Amino acid sequence: MRVMAVGVFDLLHAGHLHYLEQAKALGNHLTVVVAHDDTVRIRKHEPVTNHDLRRRMVEGLKPVDEAIVGNSPDVSIFEILPVVNPEIIALGYDQEHAEDSIRQKLNELGYGAIKVTRVEGLSDDLDGTRKIIARILDLSRNKD
């Protein structure tokens, strides 16, 4: 089964690896769609590393069979489905995507056979980029 995972993957960390390991366990081929820089800027923050470098880093992870850069924000994420051709879309535990609305849109577009599933998070206090940055800032403040 072909699995698709999506994310920013800025400053790779154990939470990202855990997500991709769980996504890969759902099938035998994992394609990861790395968010386009412009999408990250609109939805989250200025990316620390550009999408080409993030794609290269993600593609180097053992569970990943293929990594591609996603569409720019003016193009629907659903337009990448014919390229990836997934049977399963794996969502991270902390991704704000609503599973029901994704399923509804997949049905509307004729992709109703694609399964949408949310994977479990890593039970670690440093499982997110923002948490890691906050910890680094705390450590640098306490050093002074």
Report pLDDT digits (tens) over 31-79: 999 999 999 999 888 999 999 999 999 999 999 999 999 999 888 889 9
Per-residue tokens: 135:
């910890």
Give the C-alpha separation, 12 to 104, whole Å.
Answer: 31
**pLDDT recorded at residue 134:** 73
Please state the pTM of the whole predicted model. Answer: 0.86
Which SS3 state, helix, strand or coil, does residue 88 take? strand
Largest CA distance in the chain: 58
**Going by C-beta distance under 8 Å and a sequence separation of 6 or more, which residues neighbour residue 14?**
122, 124, 126, 127
Which SS3 state, helix, strand or coil, does residue 44 take? coil
Matching CATH number, 2-143, of 3.40.50.360, 3.40.50.620, 3.20.10.10, 2.40.100.10? 3.40.50.620
Per-residue tokens: 21:
């390991």
**Going by C-beta distance under 8 Å and a sequence separation of 6 or more, which residues neighbour residue 63?**
17, 20, 21, 23, 24, 30
